[in-house]
Chains A and B, each alone.
Chain A
Amino acid sequence: MSGVSAPPTALAELAARRERRGWILFAVAAIATLVLPLAVPLQAYHLNILMQASTYAIAVFGLTIVLGYAGQINLAQAAFFGIGAYSVALGTATYAMSFWVALAIGTAFAAVAGAALGLTSLRLGGHYLAMVTISFQTILSLVLANWVSFTRGPDGVTGIHRPSIFGHAIADSSHYLVLCIVALYIVGYLVWRLGHSRLGRSMQAVRDNELAAGVVGVNAYATKVIAFTLSAVLGGFGGGLFAGGFAYVSPDQFSFNESVVFLTMALLGGVRSPFGAALGTALLILLPESLRFLKAVYLAVYGCAVILIMVFMPEGIWGSFSALKRRLRPVRSVVDDVVPPLPLTARTAHAGDATLLEVSSLSKHFGGLKAVDQVSFTVRANTVHALIGPNGSGKTTLLNVLSGIYVPTGGEMNFEGRSITRLKPHERAANGIGRTFQNIRLFAAMSVIDNVIVGAQRRGNDVEGGDAGRRNLALAALGFVGLASRALDSVQGLSYGHQRLVEIARALAGNPRMLLLDEPGAGLNHHEKQELVGLLKRLRGHGLTIFIIDHDMNLVEQLADHITVLNFGRRIADGAPAEVLRHPEVIKAYLGEEAHRAVA
């Protein structure tokens, strides 16, 4: 398949320039913080605080991934931190392992525990995850305190060893601190990178709209499990470094309260960016130390802070800062950009009018209600196939069964000769079935272009040139619907009609073999509707197979090559538009018995 080889766009240049500036800032900060502990002699007390801050921040980066990117709660970060810390503690003190081996084991244990928790609870709603993570935290605290023969109980573990690098032992605390800070920067960079990667975009899509993410090709469950596991890994890794820094660990350092502290750090700083995580951690570790008078009530103040942040500053300090920056210096739109063409014809050229989708005796029952009842029809390639019917006739239910959101009660669906009956929504997307929703489902916190890139990055969509190629493809799809100039805007700032077009562009970027449109004309004014008809005609001209539901007969008549009519869940007519629209059953369903007689 040919990729979209366009000249470097202004969009790409803008991104590159931003990245260069980011790198310079990052390098300056890294050098400054690395040189500080080596150049300035610090007291043990200050070294400890800095070690705590840097290792905690690594664990809080985990929350950036799971809560900030993927929108899933984790109230057991202190437990994963504890797993890492106790692995290093017991590994080096009891079993005389090398620090690095113990750290690797601790990180691996945290990964396994995180994956196990995620796999069991991430299929369910968010409150289950909250509960399961609290339970896990509670059980781990009980085990640490009560399994005395292994964990040494409430007394804790002393005599923890520090690592050596190339035979050089890092015994000195300031050297160990440098190690922690190096780790902090590497992990922070990777987490930031993740946010702009394919996986990170999938996470954010799942966070913003799980259902739409699935239909666009994101395996939401797997994405959430990966996010949760990564979060646990960073918890374990940070904990391991923490144990090496303090040479002593005890169960109360890894209690539920600490999980809450981690959460507060992430929320205060700004949960959607690793910069926020680092900022929040630094503030909450350095502030209480300087505000010692708060010691007795500091957790009460944390609790109060959590509520206040949620109410007044949901994006945290960094998030509010970024929002302010965006308002003062709005992003330059890319009106003058070179918009590459969307390679539609190359993808849609099927052999003749081959059968693309074959639906046989498809049923969907909700209890006693037969929303879709034994419906069969065939969609041929390169046609526009309309599904019409009165309100409540089962059209949207049928579309939900076709895109895999509902599991059918009975019947079969074959797409390009393969059965898709048992495939999940993201697997159908991977087979080339795209769709839009009647009540628009965009990824609200992402930019227009990022919404469309999520569509472009579906599995099975060969795009040359990796991320840049996908970005070009997304820009091409936006150009096709006429919105390239809004690529960098937030989707929430678009009009209703434009949001609909972004949804279509998102589906187009996935290079679908077939596009399912659920009432694309709903809520559009006359002018917008005419533009939509024009767009759909262009798509048909490119040979894209479209399956469309709509109420607007005018729109359907202008577009459809073939119409299937549903009433009370059953198919009452199927055929060419002219004959279907004259069919007595259809007239009866739409206009009632009287009108039917009058027409007859």
Chain B
Amino acid sequence: MGIALQLLFTGLGVGSIYALVALGFVLIYRATNVVNFAQGDFAMLGAFAMVVLCIDIGIPYGVGIAITIVAMAVIGALFNLGVYYPLRHRSFLPVIISTIGASILLENGVLAAYGPRPQSLPGMFETQGFSVGPVFFDSQYLLIVGVGILLFGLQYLFFEHTILGKKMQATSQDKEMASLLGIPVATMIMLTFVYSAVLGGIAGILVAPILFVSVSMGSSIALKAFAASIIGGFGDVRGAIVGGLALGVVETFGAAYISVPYKDAFAFLVLFFFLLVRPQGIFGEKISEKA
């Protein structure tokens, strides 16, 4: 029982990371109808930025985090300009392929600059954590869960209760109508990319002390986050969060009770199961086209 609770806690921590990245996927998908296959690489870049700033240069964590977030915002804007914007009037396939190209470029650019050796980032807290009964609450995992909840809450307030948030929502639901109402659609899409790059960056900052910081960390997180958003119901914000948490838990239990080398395969097995049984996911994406 104690072990199970411990695994549940760890799983929710890992799941929060998936949920954060999945959220980035969903936001961009809703704004542009495009799946950004470089979403995970935003996390990788955030993690590497922390290593460069706080280890190599030696800046304190707080400042490093602030700089990283600003840098991610800039990267999100550049990404929009270079990878999405020139293709915005084309069908979804060229854009998907373009984001895949961007993912390869980012990963191998970092690889060329930093080499293949995985880096590690020390934890952000003095204390490792504390125990309640048989369960050890690792402070980094607590931070991840806490920041996750905070961001989900802030995002809800932003999209439902601010004019800017509502403009972004309007853009994601109907670009043509939004532009007729005077909403600057291109700017809204730019902001969506900026925000999802920042979300990805935060996920990277949070996960850096837990995982090795490596070039491929982004794509492996992204694949699972993507699986999570399909399981939750693609394009649905609740789905991204629930799917991400669920996948984190399944994976942690699978690794503990079934097999460690195949840990990365569980997410995909769950995904295949969903595609067969309930392809629209938990919260159900509409899968039809209008005549």
Contacts and interface: CB of A to CB of B under 8 A. Distances in A.
B98 interface: yes
Q: Which of the listed residues B35, B103, B268 has the most CB atoms from chain A within 10 Å of its own CB? A: B268
Interface in A536-591: none
B100 interface: yes
A71 B90 CA distance: 14
B132 interface: no
A405 to B, nearest CB: 5
B255 interface: no
B191 interface: no
Interface stretch (B54-62, B64-72, B161-169, B258-266): B258-266
A222 interface: no
B200 to A, nearest CB: 17
Contacts of A400: 291
B96 A130 contact: yes
B96 A127 contact: yes
A306 B262 contact: no
B213 to A, nearest CB: 18
Grouping DSSP codes into helix (H, G, I), strand (E, B) and loop, the A interface class, with mixed when no group exceeds half, is helix
A465 interface: no
A305 B223 contact: no
Interface in A372-404: 396, 399-400
B279 interface: yes
A146 interface: yes
A131 B291 contact: no
B186 to A, nearest CB: 17
A49 to B, nearest CB: 22
B112 A210 contact: no
Contact of A296 (B83, B102, B112): B112
Interface size class of B (residues with CB under 8 A): 35 or more
A429 to B, nearest CB: 14
Interface string B210-234: 0000000001000100110010001
Interface stretch (B44-52, B245-253, B269-277): B269-277
Contacts of A257: 104
A409 B200 CA distance: 43
Given A124-B287, A142-B264, A303-B102, A311 B93 contact: no
B230 A130 contact: no
A134 B92 CA distance: 17
Interface string A125-148: 111101110111011001000100
B275 A121 contact: yes
A553 B51 CA distance: 72
Given A138-B223, A306-B104, A405-B291, A131 B230 contact: yes
Contacts of A300: 104-105, 107-109, 111-112
B261 A146 contact: yes
Contacts of A267: 97
Contact of A135 (B83, B271, B287, B289): B271
Contact of B100 (A75, A210, A406): A75
Contacts of B93: 67, 71, 73, 126
Contact of B104 (A139, A142, A303): A303
Interface in A307-352: 307, 310-311, 314
B82 interface: yes
A305 B98 CA distance: 9
Nearest to A67: B93
Q: Which of the listed residues A142, A146, A300, A305 has the most CB atoms from chain B within 10 Å of its own CB? A: A300
B226 A131 contact: yes
Given A142-B261, A142-B262, A120 B272 contact: yes
Nearest to B82: A307
Given A131-B227, A138-B264, A297-B108, A310 B98 contact: yes
A260 B100 contact: yes
B97 A263 contact: yes
Nearest to B260: A146
B277 to A, nearest CB: 10
B94 interface: yes
B106 interface: yes
Given A139-B265, A300-B104, A305-B101, A128 B92 contact: no
A306 B104 CA distance: 9
A124 B279 contact: yes
Interface in A275-319: 296-297, 299-300, 302-307, 310-311, 314
Contacts of A183: none
Given A396-B291, A437-B291, A307 B279 contact: no
Contacts of A311: 86-87, 98
A310 B94 contact: yes
Contact of B87 (A121, A125, A305, A310): A310
Nearest to A399: B291
Contacts of B109: 297, 300, 303
B37 interface: yes
A211 interface: yes
Contacts of A146: 261-262
Nearest to B285: A125
A130 B101 contact: no
A310 B101 contact: yes
B265 A310 contact: no
Contacts of B98: 306-307, 310-311
Contacts of B37: 130
B89 to A, nearest CB: 12
A372 B92 CA distance: 33
B147 to A, nearest CB: 26
A260 B101 CA distance: 8
Given A138-B264, A146-B261, A296-B112, A124 B275 contact: yes
Contacts of B289: 210-211
A399 B291 CA distance: 10
Contacts of A297: 108-109, 112
A193 interface: no
Contacts of B111: 299-300
A256 B35 CA distance: 18
Interface in A4-38: none
8 contacts: A120-B272, A125-B287, A128-B234, A130-B96, A135-B223, A142-B262, A399-B291, A400-B291
Given A131-B271, A138-B264, A297-B112, 14 more contacts: A121-B275, A131-B230, A132-B272, A142-B265, A146-B262, A299-B104, A299-B111, A302-B104, A303-B104, A303-B107, A303-B109, A307-B98, A310-B97, A310-B101
- Considering the complex of A and B, which 9 residue pairs feature the smallest CB-CB distances, nearest first? A306-B101, A303-B104, A303-B105, A300-B108, A135-B268, A299-B108, A127-B35, A307-B101, A310-B98
